Amino acid sequence: MLHDSTPELDPRPGPAEIEPISPHEAALILEQALAPYLADGWRVLDRGAYSARLTRGKRNLDVRVDLLGEVEVQETGLTALQDSGRLVAWVLLITSLLLALAITSALGIW
């Protein structure tokens, strides 16, 4: 006869299953994680229950809360879209000012 090689099942309960945190709990953890950055002058670009993107100067800060409640922070440079958006904003501002000066001088107001 062949030897039965099936392992015996352990009747003791195994480790408890991991329960992911709720979006409400993640939002509370994220709020606590963001507080020092907001006090330091970072501005919120986008925010959800589990993540937020902050910006200050030419830096971005991505703060994420995983399903176990751990906070991960990653700092990066500006994206190409943010850079081009800033350039377009400056061009529009300067163009508006020059147009306003041209109109006021043509009307003799200034």
Q: What number of H helices and E strands is found in the chain?
A: 2, 4
User: CB-based contacts of 76: which residues, under 8 Å, 6+ apart?
Assistant: 59, 60, 61, 62
- 48-89: pLDDT as tens digits: 999 999 999 889 999 999 999 999 999 998 888 888 998 999
**Does the structure show a pLDDT above 70 at 46?**
yes
Confidence (pTM): 0.63
**Does the structure show a pLDDT above 90 at 1?**
no
